């Protein structure tokens, strides 16, 4: 039995020491975590993973867009010229060869109207302006610019009118 305040303090201290068993693991866990982080920094693969996690990595991409989309024709007479202007931007982080293909399709038929290839330096752009003749036989005619080997594609539709109409 507790006879006074001193005995109560002893009992409280004993209960405190018994209840802190879980707290004794924290210093050990902290040391183990520090060792794991330190070991991962010593290994090349670990350093690489830390760099990927902490430092922003640029995402390589290719840009393809019409230079003046509002100036693209909406109607054209059959066999009349169409001027198309677009830009291919290389944001891949290295010099790359780009090939574009311009095609016209209507219904089930499709024809290649123009194509070319060029090496583009990293961060540079290639501005292309081509005058083409639509070879579509039915309306509407889809004019498409694609980069084979890349997912980028842009297109627009033109309605065909007969000459003299």
Which CATH number does the domain housing residue 72 bear? 2.60.40.10
Q: Which domain holds residue 109?
A: 61-161
In the chain, how many domains are there? 2
User: Do 132 and 71 share a structural domain?
Assistant: yes
What tokens appear for 119 in the block? Answer: 């090496």
User: Do 112 and 43 share a structural domain?
Assistant: no
Whose CA is closest to 156, among 52, 86, 51? 86
Q: How many CB atoms lie within 10 A of CB 145?
A: 24
165 residues of the chain, pLDDT tens digit each: 556 666 656 666 556 555 555 567 778 888 888 888 888 888 888 888 888 888 887 889 999 999 999 988 888 887 788 899 999 999 999 999 999 999 988 878 888 989 999 999 999 999 999 998 877 777 888 999 999 999 999 999 998 877 655
User: Do 71 and 144 share a structural domain?
Assistant: yes
Give dist(CA 94, CA 116) in Å, integer: 20
* pTM for this model (two decimals): 0.65
Given this model, what pLDDT does residue 152 score?
92
Give dist(CA 123, CA 119) in Å, integer: 12
Of 15, 34, 54, which closes a domain?
A: 54
H/E element, 62: strand 61-66
């Amino acid at each position: 039995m507790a006879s006074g305040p001193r005995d109560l303090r002893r009992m409280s201290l004993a209960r405190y020491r018994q209840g802190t068993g879980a707290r004794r693991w924290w210093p050990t866990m902290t040391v183990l975590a520090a060792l794991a982080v330190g070991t991962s920094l010593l290994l090349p693969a670990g350093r690489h993973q830390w760099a990927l996690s902490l430092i922003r990595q640029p995402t390589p991409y290719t840009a393809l867009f019409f230079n003046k989309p509002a100036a693209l024709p909406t109607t054209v007479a059959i066999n009349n010229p169409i001027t198309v202007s677009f830009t291919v931007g290389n944001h891949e982080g290295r010099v790359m060869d780009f090939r574009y293909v311009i095609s016209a399709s209507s219904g089930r038929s499709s024809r290649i109207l123009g194509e070319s290839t060029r090496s583009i330096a990293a961060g540079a752009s290639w501005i292309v302006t081509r005058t083409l003749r639509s070879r579509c036989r039915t309306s509407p005619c889809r004019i498409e610019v694609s980069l084979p080997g890349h997912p980028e594609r842009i297109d627009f539709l033109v309605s065909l009118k007969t000459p003299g109409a």
